[in-house]
Structure 1
């Protein structure tokens, strides 16, 4: 089943939360404040979207009439996660939740095997507490995607499977709330301007590097792509996810006029700032979303299309990781995703 963004929008009208307590961001005059506010907003949005996913799943389990609404809210939750995905900078409590939220890359279809094993247990009542003790492969967004989209899932016909999905979404909502609360305070207040420059560039570089690996792993060797390494291949939303990654990175870079773009211009580096901004816009405006990454890798033409997108991200990475770092006198070391 291929996902289409426009479907079932009206089905969610009555499922918006009115009980969530909204956290307020910490207000400071620190140089990192603009970026912090972007991160705070992203964490709050992710928590809200997953909370609504739990509500929609619960409604489906009661009525079993509108799976389209579940898939739509799953996609919204996944999209909101793209702003936080691949982070290696920020509150440790938030970073520790990454694998619980999403297990990827799934090189050996561990998610599929673990989910099938859970269904074979024939457990009468699943709860969030049960899921929290399971493998991370069945706790997050990938597990829910498997339930909604995989042909081996009997979500449409088995009420117990629906209860499993509800339990997974409830556990995910708890983890998302942990992330949101971790961003309640700015983790960078002790950093000097120089240290913040280094931290900020690393923040952008780490997330961009993660996005690049979402293309390079499936691309693999020329002529021998590994399409099943694609993120969200079951729902066909891998390229849409990546577009959201890039849009979120652009927002982090700009930080509502308080980010790296403004800092470069203040240092008389407007030409470099313009090139980065233009590269973001070029990448976003020409990003293909009509087909999934899995579909594109089925043909030579599609492979070339994906490779062209990778080159755009590589150019963006060079501008930030190399040119900006040089201009600001920052030395960026290897990150945790290098060399795998």
Structure 2
């Protein structure tokens, strides 16, 4: 339904393009509506995954077993995969950007999540989901659930961990519901022309910047990697989530920015970037975990190839796409420091 109105406008603009130039305006507006629809679909997938995780954890805590622990861990992985479009992917929506900190506290450079959860487990009274909402974001979201389900987690330890795990998962589902609600309103509805073009470009660059940090932080400097700075090192899924993030970003580019570039007459640039997005995804090593790759020279070099591909995309978006659209691009909006 969301495409019907802009398509009518587009048909009209084809007829009048030589006189009014409204074809370009309609194309930009269509890109905005596609961008909004993508966000709504992604929030729904994430919310569904979070609810499935809550159900799985509830089953684990009712009757702990190795099988149910593995199932809960797999549901967490599925939820994290559904979250990847929002790693840097909430630009333009201030409410959603604020909520995202409650869902993923990253980077956690000082193991704040582990230290604070350890303290909570020592307390007699386990905080409810509502009480967690008033505490540090480090104990509210996906990183906290990962610690509870993966870091030294065994069936025997779940009796102690389950009450807190249930609270954290419930709090995360609540945040997912809030995120879903935040994207029911189109934040770009009142924008036109260059403003919309800028938001379209920023949607891609913000996500690319955030994805870049999930690689550059653990890579550190040659011979001095920081594996504990990866996005999901406890579950051994950092590299898999890097790939998922790049796939999500490629889909975003092909859906909203590439058509805009083609419509503006920059077909060669649009297609070249499409090819490089595909190369970036393909270059991610098959290993799910990043730690083994950081531990030896060949593995580190394989990650350098990914980093170089990401760097090319950042440079092309800044130095070529920005000027082509008459916009200035910066890559510093998601610094976790």
TM range (shorter): 0.7 to 0.9
Aligned to 2:258: 261
Q: Any idea what the Cα deviations from partners look like across 1:307-330, whole Å, max 9, x if unmatched?
A: 111111111222223211111111
Aligned to 1:247: 247
Answer yes or no: is 1:133 the counterpart of 2:163.
no
CA distance in 1: counterparts of 2:52 and 2:38, whole angstroms:
21
Aligned to 1:212: 212
CA distance in 2: counterparts of 1:333 and 1:268, whole angstroms:
23
Q: Any idea what the Cα deviations from partners look like across 1:227-273, whole Å, max 9, x if unmatched?
A: 11111101110011111111111121122xxx211121222211111
Aligned to 1:142: 143
CA distance in 2: counterparts of 1:265 and 1:245, whole angstroms:
24
CA distance in 1: counterparts of 2:223 and 2:121, whole angstroms:
37
Shift of 1:52: 1.2
Shift of 1:274: 1.0
Aligned length: 312
Q: Secondary structure at the match of 2:157?
A: coil
Aligned to 2:117: 115
The TM-score normalised by the length of structure 2 is: 0.87
Shift of 1:137: 0.7
Q: Secondary structure at the match of 1:90?
A: coil
Match of 2:314 among 290, 302, 317: 317
Q: Answer yes or no: is the 8 Å Cα contact 1:225–1:297 preserved in 2.
A: yes
Shift of 1:291: 4.4
Shift of 1:26: 10
CA distance in 2: counterparts of 1:173 and 1:25, whole angstroms:
27
Shift of 1:86: 1.6
Aligned to 1:233: 233
Q: Secondary structure at the match of 1:248?
A: helix
Answer yes or no: is 1:39 the counterpart of 2:44.
no
Q: Any idea what the Cα deviations from partners look like across 1:134-170, whole Å, max 9, x if unmatched?
A: 211111101111111112x466434241121111011
CA distance in 2: counterparts of 1:279 and 1:182, whole angstroms:
32
Aligned to 1:189: 189
Q: Secondary structure at the match of 2:85?
A: coil
CA distance in 1: counterparts of 2:5 and 2:180, whole angstroms:
18
Q: Answer yes or no: is the 8 Å Cα contact 1:25–1:40 preserved in 2.
A: no
Match of 2:85 among 83, 86, 90: 83
Q: Answer yes or no: is the 8 Å Cα contact 1:147–1:155 preserved in 2.
A: no
Shift of 1:339: 9.8
Q: Secondary structure at the match of 1:98?
A: helix
Shift of 1:127: 2.5
Q: Answer yes or no: is the 8 Å Cα contact 2:284–2:303 preserved in 1.
A: no
Label 1:95 to 1:203 Cα distance change in 2 as closer, same or farther (>3 A).
Answer: same
Shift of 1:27: 8.2
Which segment is superposed worse, 287-296 or 212-221? 287-296
Q: Any idea what the Cα deviations from partners look like across 1:42-91, whole Å, max 9, x if unmatched?
A: 11111111111111111111121211110111001111111011235232
Give matches, 1:281-296, under 5 Å: 281-296=278-293
Label 1:140 to 1:44 Cα distance change in 2 as closer, same or farther (>3 A).
Answer: same
Which segment is superposed worse, 261-270 or 35-44? 261-270
Q: Answer yes or no: is the 8 Å Cα contact 2:211–2:245 preserved in 1.
A: yes
Aligned-residue RMSD, C-alpha: 2.0
Q: Any idea what the Cα deviations from partners look like across 1:165-184, whole Å, max 9, x if unmatched?
A: 11101100000100001111
Label 1:126 to 1:308 Cα distance change in 2 as closer, same or farther (>3 A).
Answer: same
Q: Secondary structure at the match of 1:50?
A: helix
Rg larger in structure: 2
* Unmatched runs of 5 consecutive residues or more in structure 2: 7-28
